[in-house]
Amino acid sequence: MFIRLSAAIAAASLISGVAFAAGPTDPQIAHIAYTAGAIDIAAAKQALAKSGNKEVKAFARDMVRDHEAVNKQALALVKKLKVTPEDNDTSKTLQKNAKAKLDELSKLKGAEFDKAYVANEVAYHQAVDNALETTLIPSASNGELKSLLQTGLKIFQGHEQHAEHVASELK
Greater pLDDT, 14 or 102: 102
List, for residues 68-78, the tens digit of each pLDDT value. 999 999 999 99
Question: Domain 2-15+25-169: which topology?
Answer: Ferritin (1.20.1260)
Residues whose CB is less than 8 angstroms from the CB of residue 61 and which lie 6 or more positions away in sequence, other chains included = 44, 48
DSSP structural state of residue 107: T
Cα–Cα distance between 155 and 68 in angstroms, integer? 12
Burial code (b: 16+ CB inside 10 Å, e: under 16) for 119-136 equals bbbbbbbbbbbbbbeebb
Cβ 6 vs Cβ 125: under 8 Å: no
Question: How far is CA 170 from its chain centroid?
Answer: 21
> What is residue 23's predicted lDDT score, i.e. its pLDDT?
83
Q: Please tell me the predicted confidence (pLDDT) of residue 22.
A: 58
The percent of residues in the chain predicted with pLDDT above 70, rounded, is 87
Give residue 2's pLDDT: 37
Domain ranges of the chain: 2-15+25-169
